[in-house]
Structure 1
Amino acid sequence: MSMLTFPPDFGWGAATSAYQIEGAAKEDGRGESVWDVFSRTPGRTRNGDTGEVAADHYHRYRDDLDLMRDLGLRSYRFSISWPRIQPDGNGAPNQRGLDFYRRLIDGLHERGIAPMATLFHWDLPQALQDQGGWEARDTAYRFADYADAVFRALGDRVPTWLTMNEPKTVVQNGYLSGHHAPGRQDPDAAYLVAHHLQLAHGLAVRALRAAGGGRIGPALNLHPCYPADDTAEAAAATRLYDGYENRLYLDPIFTGRYPQDVLDDLGPDSRMVRGIADGDLAIISSPVDLLAVQYYTPLYVTAAGGTVTRWPTSEAQWQQIHPDGMYDILTRVTRDYGPVPLTITENGLPTPDTLAADGTVDDSARVTFLRDHLAAVHRAISDGVPLESFHVWSLLDNFEWDAGYEQRWGIVYVDYPTQRRVLKRSAHWYRTVIADNGL
């Protein structure tokens, strides 16, 4: 098999998020987030795990930066903790919080790694949640103020900004199933939250334009939806399912409209439909410079509107392993929304990693997964998809939300009692891929 070579300037990277790796939950003026409160609530997370210490990246970031350099990373996608910058979700920024990210960003530049910063990766300040959270329209404007403060402090050093990480996950896991913060099960609230997250995205785009400099776009987890059988009923159900999974987030950003089939399904009396104010869609569709795509799993939709599993799953039972879905979603975005520059900001899986007696971690299943998905990425690029970079999820083992520390998603093993980092087999493999710029 001949080598699959990527474009010469392809941005090989890895991704993390603040609450999942930083720890230092009560240091240097950081306020509480919804995840601090949620994870401390009995029964919410596996084993009662919290992100209070996590991978202790806040104290170990210099060593982690050296590790990134040694892997050859060209890009690092991380998130900024809103409660580290504004402990109560508003007001003057906390300088100690800004200073941490300035040190991190400077360290990336010193090592030749491009920073890609995400403004919101689910850690809403609890003080704002107490005032209604994302159900409150005002939270979108508080987010714009926070974004402006961050842009003005750090914007000259960050070439690429991402606004919202996976707004759909906040909607579905935070407000439908309730197994993510804030732990609600309220469908009518959920889609109002979706609108306010989209509004916050658009306001942040405008804030960056006003501050000047940098590229900006959203980070959306997109699930290709396929009919589970050949019936017309399954096809129709799949179309609507795709509306809720993908078009509800893509359409307003790129076309300035919410998908009509979803609005009709929600109904005119839904809180979301009633919550769309004049001018909102013009804000949400403020032009972006790129779209960050996160791909984990396909969905197979039945005639009754449910889903079935068609492929082997990972340790995360919701994740079906289907690399062709990566090709399908990338080509679909380009086909439906035009040649917007794309980056993949998350792709990976959890594997049952253990530290062997000889100090190695053999996560061969992760190597296979990444190789197959990168082959699909290469095929998409060859077929005209304007993809600029790929970020494996995740750089480090970390706090995996309601799954706590039982799932390991990193290419670097974290021995939590000692916080020692050990490169897994996948990290050594990925370093070679980067060095060769191909598979």
Structure 2
Amino acid sequence: MIPGLLVAAPASGTGKTTVMLGLLASLRDRGHVVQPFKNGPDYIDPAFHRAASGRESFNLDTWAMPEAMLDGMLAAADGADLVLAEGSMGLFDGVAAPGATGNGASADLAARMGWPVVLVIDASGQAQTAAAVAQGLARFRAGVRVAGVILNRIASPRHEALVRVGMKEAGLSVLGVLPKRAAIAMPERHLGLVQAEEQPALQALIAEAAALMREGVDLDALIAAARTTAVTHAPAKITPPGQRIALARDAAFSFVYPHLLHGWRAAGAEVLPFSPLADQAPDPSADVCWLPGGYPELHGATLAQADRFRAGLRAFAATKPVHGECGGYMAMGEAIVDKDGVRHRMAGLLGLVTSFEKRKMHLGYRLAQLAQPIPGHRPDSPLRGHEFHYSTILSQPDAPLAHVTDATGSTVPETGSTRLQSEGGLSTGTFFHLIASA
């Protein structure tokens, strides 16, 4: 079995991702093969992990993934020397009610896999108090073991000495000390970090983060703290939506969970990417078209002028299934209204009209019971996923696709849509991103 660690923190914004990228790159530079994972529903961080480690990063989600699937994802680590998983939000932050395997918190993942936790502590604005926070996290839950801390944003040698005194009193090992370094701050936008492929200076940022880890972290001690998991696993099996899948893939449609793509291919399916932003149509030889989420609201004018894409998609949809998630769902509708109030024509496979001008955050896990099929899933299939967007529905005239609830069991009004096209093709879309069958 391969030893692993989980990199976590008391809260978001502490520098977890920078530390994670720096560790992946610095360990890779030393000749280690490191398999990255990301706790929870996140599209953006795994792409950064891949750039730093040279290996595909996969999401592990205790709320959405059944035990067999969650454990089976560990097969991705075959051939690696070490597993590093990046936590989400604060270490114990999850939903109130448990899901398939847990409540989605990073601590649930650490406990299940037996991975010790490396805490990234933002010590700015405090000294010994940082140790009280770390000690509280270390003692909060049996079965979650803190291997040590990496102190981030240390202002001076005196500041470091004071924080170290606190950590010693708390009985916690200091695995690293990092100074404030604004140069490696990651750019952000409304759904999180700017995507990896949109950052021309990404490799320079990763190299800077790696240098910071080499200077400030005891990498040998960190590796020695890793532990193997007691979980046994067989590769997770995922049903693809078709044998030949036309997949929209560009800066507007980039939110595809790596585990789904990997699972589709492992099941023998072919993935045929095309770019709506480049005015490309789906391959007519495909069985199904899948439009993932992303940022179509940032590219409304380009998509509105993509006549070849729109005509090709409509021709495809006349006889074959097309499914869209979040941004892909919006692009299947009649129109998107951007943040400036400008209405942009979309594909018109559904009657949906959405507005980014009237912003409202929709965030959380979703459990859906399908009323109509989507590619790869029959009616009445229960699906688990996640929704995160700021768009508001102005019009949704089509039949609802599913009965949708959140993690507490409360009904969610965004039901998705379905429409049978004139020649028998079924168009479907949801605002939630599919993670796993329930």
TM-score, scaled to structure 2:
0.29
* Structure showing the higher strand proportion among its residues: 2
Larger Rg: 2
Q: Which has the higher helix share?
A: 1
* TM-score normalized by the length of structure 1: 0.29
Query: Per chain length, whose mean CA-contact separation is higher, i.e. which structure has more relative contact order (CA < 8 Å, sep 6+)?
Result: 1
